[in-house]
């Protein structure tokens, strides 16, 4: 089984719409949405949930009102101002545990808090592992790990050969969780100066984790000069450029229709370029094994 994570360094580069197209081209695949803070791949892949799992990513202070003698020591000691009038604000609580230590009657304990849910769903092209973190909750890296573990389990059980991860934006903890142990990282960038900078940051992350880097330029024709720069950078750093996708308003029309562009208009130039990009990506993956 092979695993690829599609990355972008920042949001809004067309990564998710590309992932939806790649899933549609593959036909039998396990897809994950690792952007658990703001998932949106479900809008295009329309998953039918078959399994839901609670995610308790964090511990929060809980006060036993019967035991509490209302001495106020916990409120005084909480440096995050998470306790007011013997009520814990779950959003402000940082799980440090100081209140449990200072309470003279052991009326406070840390309890696992429901931070979100993980889902396994059916999609037209196979299966999907995804999740949703509750607003204000942290630990998205841990939830991404759960999403990937679930994907691996169902892929092994149902004998799937490929897992395609839609990675979170940025280069933080959730991104690291989305690339650990994958066979390739496909970076999607736009030909802008910030795009080049983002690509360099993601490349160094992939290098650190010894993941094969592949690059594709989305809307390459909006700035030919920057496209040339990216191509040269890739060439001089021995990074494979697997494709260039042109700007096309069909992509937006497809999104509005709730479809990937390859489903919406398979004969279009943009769809053909995505097909070619996917072909190149899979060939590099094959060579690696
Ligand atoms: S666990 Fe820490 S942050 Fe949470 S309420 Fe207690 S002292 Fe405050
Ligand atoms: S420190 Fe313990 S007893 Fe005192 S107010 Fe807080 S929970 Fe109640």
pLDDT of residue 16: 92
pLDDT, tens digit, 9 for 90 and up, residues 66-103:
999 999 999 999 999 999 999 999 889 999 999 999 99
Substitution site in 68, 97, 108 for ligand 1 pocket (most atoms within 8 Å of beta carbon): 97
Q: At what angle do helices 224-236 and 193-208 cross, to 10 degrees?
A: 20
Substitution site in 67, 69, 77 for ligand 2 pocket (most atoms within 8 Å of beta carbon): 69
Q: What ligand has the least distance to the C-alpha of 105?
A: 2
Mean pLDDT of 173-191: 95
Mean pLDDT of 152-174: 94
pLDDT of residue 205: 94
User: Given the CA of residue 110, which atom of ligand 1 is nearest to it?
Assistant: 1
Domain extent listing, the chain: 2-55+136-288, 58-113
pLDDT, tens digit, 9 for 90 and up, residues 97-131:
999 999 999 999 999 988 899 999 999 999 999 99
pLDDT of residue 81: 96
Q: How many CB atoms lie within 10 A of CB 175?
A: 25
- CATH code of the domain occupying 58-113: 3.30.70.20
| Percentage of residues in the chain having pLDDT higher than 70 | 100
CA distance 260 to 43: 10
- CATH code of the domain occupying 2-55+136-288: 3.40.50.300
Q: How far is the CA of 99 from the centre of ligand 1 (A)?
A: 6
Q: How far is the CA of 72 from the centre of ligand 1 (A)?
A: 13
User: Given the CA of residue 64, which atom of ligand 2 is nearest to it?
Assistant: 7
pLDDT beyond 80 at 9: no
Q: Is 58-113 in the same CATH topology as 2-55+136-288?
A: no
Q: Return phi, psi of residue 221, to 5°.
A: -85, 5
Residue 113 region, left (φ>0) first, then alpha (ψ -120 to 50), else beta? beta
- The CA distances from residue 167 to 31, 148, 157, 202, 205, in Å, are 11, 11, 23, 11, 13
Q: What ligand has the least distance to the C-alpha of 103?
A: 2
pLDDT beyond 70 at 289: no
Q: How far is the CA of 137 from the centre of ligand 1 (A)?
A: 15
Widest pairwise Cα distance in the chain: 72
pLDDT, tens digit, 9 for 90 and up, residues 228-285:
999 999 999 999 999 999 999 999 999 999 999 999 999 999 999 999 999 999 999 9
Q: What ligand has the least distance to the C-alpha of 86?
A: 2
pLDDT beyond 70 at 6: yes
pTM: 0.87
């Amino acid at each position: 089984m092979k695993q690829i994570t599609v990355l972008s360094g920042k949001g809004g580069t067309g990564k998710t719409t590309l992932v939806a197209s790649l899933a549609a081209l593959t036909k039998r695949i396990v897809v994950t949405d690792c952007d658990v803070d703001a998932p949106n791949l479900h809008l295009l892949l329309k998953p039918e949930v078959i399994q839901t799992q609670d995610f308790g990513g964090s511990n929060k202070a809980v006060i036993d009102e019967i035991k509490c003698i209302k001495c106020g020591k916990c409120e005084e000691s909480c440096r995050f101002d998470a306790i007011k009038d013997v009520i814990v604000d779950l959003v402000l609580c940082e799980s440090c545990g100081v209140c449990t230590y200072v309470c003279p009657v052991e009326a406070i304990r840390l309890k696992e808090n429901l931070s979100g849910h993980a889902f396994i769903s059916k999609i037209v092209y196979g299966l999907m592992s995804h999740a949703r973190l509750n607003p204000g909750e942290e630990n998205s890296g841990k939830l991404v790990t759960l999403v990937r573990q679930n994907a691996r389990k169902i892929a092994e059980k149902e004998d799937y050969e490929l897992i395609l991860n839609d990675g979170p934006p940025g280069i933080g903890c959730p991104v690291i969780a989305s690339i650990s142990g994958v066979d390739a990282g496909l970076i999607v960038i736009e030909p802008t100066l910030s795009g080049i900078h983002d690509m360099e940051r993601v490349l160094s992350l992939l290098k650190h984790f010894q993941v094969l880097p592949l690059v594709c330029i989305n809307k390459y024709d909006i700035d030919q000069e920057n496209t040339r720069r990216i191509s040269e950078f890739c060439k001089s750093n021995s990074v494979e450029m697997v494709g260039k996708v042109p700007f096309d308003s069909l992509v937006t029309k497809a999104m509005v229709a709730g479809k990937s562009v390859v489903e919406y208009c398979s004969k279009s130039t943009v769809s053909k370029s995505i097909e070619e990009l996917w072909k190149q990506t899979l060939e590099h993956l094959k060579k690696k094994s």
